[in-house]
Amino acid sequence: MTRETDIGLHSANASNRKVEDMKQRLDIIEKADPTLVISIHQNSYHEEYVHGAQVFYYSTSTVGKSLAEILQERLVLDVDPENHRAARENNSYYLLKKTAAPIVIAECGFLSNIREAEKLNTDIYQEKMAWSMHMGIMQYINSQN
């Protein structure tokens, strides 16, 4: 866990809060030396109709791609069968570029979509998302043995 509150990991006088926050997250991750990393986020878009969880990986990471595809499949299967999104590569996300451990970014849904935001704010939906990711991680680990 890099943070447990909705407060960024930057100092109050940081000239670029986002950059400092990302560097702090990276430092926490690197010190933990994890087997894999899942960075969990909520998405937003300027059009309200856009919805659905999506998992991103760095294009040159075969491990990240495999993990992202498994997690994406689990999220669709366990949480939202109407979600037609696929795991996608992204080379612009700082953590995907800079983290040494296999990493994916899981966007759990769109806060800009009112129906999805309502679900994302319920304990039951959050537990379904967490369980689905847990099962995806276990599936990924088992596929490596």
How is residue 55 written in tokens?
């998992």
b/e code 74-90 from CB counts within 10 Å (16+ = b)? bbbebbbeebebebbeb
Quickly tell me which residue has 């800079």 as its tokens: 98
Nearest-Å Rg of the Cα atoms of the chain is 15
Spacing of C-alpha 30 from chain mean position: 17
Task: Please state the length of the chain.
Answer: 145
- Three-state secondary-structure class, residue 145: coil
Q: pLDDT tens, 61-107?
A: 999 999 999 999 999 999 999 999 999 999 999 999 999 999 999 99
Q: Is the pLDDT of residue 145 over 90?
A: no
Give the model's pLDDT for residue 12. Answer: 74
> Which pTM was predicted?
0.90
Q: Which residues contact 140 (CB under 8 A, 6 or more apart)?
A: 36, 66, 67, 70, 71
Query: 103 pairs with which residues across the strands?
Result: 37
| pLDDT (tens digit per residue) in 101-130 | 999 999 999 999 999 999 999 999 999 999
**At 21, is the pLDDT very low, low, confident or very high (cuts 50, 70, 90)?**
confident
- Tokens at residue 115, please? 């129906």
